[in-house]
Amino acid sequence: MRIILISIIYLVSKLASAQEVDDTTTHFLSNYFKKMLGPQKDPADAQLINYPTLAYSPETRWEFGVSSLYVYSANKDLNNRLSEIKAFTFYTQESQYGIWLDHAIYTDKNKWFMYGKARYQSFPLFYYGIGPESPQNYTALIDGQYTLIRERVLREVVPSLYFGLEVDYQRLANVDYLETSTQYIAPEIGENGSTNLGFGAGLLFDNIYNAMNPREGLYSEWAFLSYRDQMSSDFNFTTYISDTRAYQPLQENTVLALQFYGQLTKGNAPFNMLSLMGGESLMRGYYLGRYRDKNLLAGQIEYRVLPFRFSKKWGASVFLAAGQVYGDNHNFKWNVFLPAGGAGVRYLIFPDKDIYTRIDISFTQEGSGVYFFIGEAF
């Protein structure tokens, strides 16, 4: 879990300001957060927020980071969908580090959509094994340098329907097994790292205005990526992805959100590029990669109140999810879907952009997880 310090700093600065403490630093912080989080003179103006993060885990000890979020509408036209650019960098007491860049950019009139992410990090991952019957405790702690670049460039062909090309580059290098248990079984493919480059195409229907807080509409992506040794990949395999999300307003301040996700893999994919279950978006409560195999099917439903009727800033949500991984050695079974569920609170951080921060707690059969992010999970 990453703890966002911005709320604490903002509250401290507000309290200090209310007490009229004559301190240059206090007044600077107060004015900075008022400008950053307060109402805008022009709602069409772009908005930028920078905030520190703090986290702790046994394998990293303390992690210190800085995040940035930039949101805008192309040409300052509010009829254009909201674009977002996110950046995050961190450093830990174990000399681990990383840089993340994410973006979802719409051009004027929403004619082009560029959706992608980039990652570079030196950071350990917990490996539990492959398949739905992997041990509850991790069998290896794997360190290495991980690079990911994935980009989609899509053109609107009819209103809200996009078609385009996709590229994915992933490299796991300098692999070091820091710990292994007696239950550890080495993955058959990619144990010592690999480099893989994939090209493909995607079809997307998207009539969502605000991807960070969807209130109505449909998002449905269908794509494939092919990785071949003729294209500088260490292994030959193909990944098919289907991601459909629907949002239905029930009342003025409530939304019912649903998501169905599938990822199918054919061929010889390395263990780090198999379908991974868990994370901060889908199947919250499970560590990302707690379960991995060639195929993943999962879905979730969430009821959001944004905001409460008695508040202009605070809201909440409840959610349920289910998913399973399966592959060559583990068949798909209807009765082995794993459940997850929980609830969270919301705080309206960008009133002019209708963007909330969220704190979610999710429970699974194996434990729980807490998530603190800006923007909804899906």
- 3-state SS record for 357-378: EEEEEEEECCEEEEEEEECCCC
CATH at 265:
2.40.160.50
Residue 279's closest CA among 265, 263, 268?
263
130 and 24 together in one domain: no
165 and 269 together in one domain: yes
109 and 23 together in one domain: no
188 and 284 together in one domain: yes
Confidence of residue 172 (pLDDT cuts 50, 70, 90): very high
What are the helix (H) ranges across the chain? 6-18, 24-37
How far apart (Å, rounded) are the C-alpha atoms in residues 263 and 239?
A: 7
Residue 134's DSSP bridge partners are none
How far apart (Å, rounded) are the C-alpha atoms in residues 98 and 116?
A: 17
33 and 52 together in one domain: no
Rounded average pLDDT over 124-128: 93
Q: Give pLDDT tens digits for 51-84.
A: 898 877 766 788 899 999 999 999 999 999 999 9
Q: Is the pLDDT of residue 128 over 50?
A: yes
Confidence of residue 12 (pLDDT cuts 50, 70, 90): very low
CB 211 within 8 A of CB 102: no
69 and 12 together in one domain: no
Residue 195's closest CA among 148, 256, 136, 132?
148
Centre a 10 Å sphere on the Cβ of residue 347 and count the other Cβ atoms it contains.
15
- When divided into structural domains, the chain yields a total of 2
Confidence of residue 285 (pLDDT cuts 50, 70, 90): very high
Q: Give pLDDT tens digits for 104-122.
A: 999 999 999 999 999 999 9
CB 5 within 8 A of CB 54: yes
Confidence of residue 10 (pLDDT cuts 50, 70, 90): very low
Q: Which pLDDT value is given to residue 271?
A: 97
For 367, the domain range is: 39-374
Rounded average pLDDT over 215-233: 97
33 and 49 together in one domain: no
202 and 351 together in one domain: yes
Give every CB contact of residue 311 below 8 A, 6+ residues apart in sequence. Answer: none
150 residue type, one letter: R
29 and 68 together in one domain: no
Q: Which of the residue ranges 58-67, 231-240, 304-313, 348-357 would you say has the lowest mean pLDDT? A: 58-67
104 and 158 together in one domain: yes
10 and 89 together in one domain: no
Element (H, E) at 218: strand 217-227
12 and 123 together in one domain: no
How far apart (Å, rounded) are the C-alpha atoms in residues 178 and 162?
A: 44
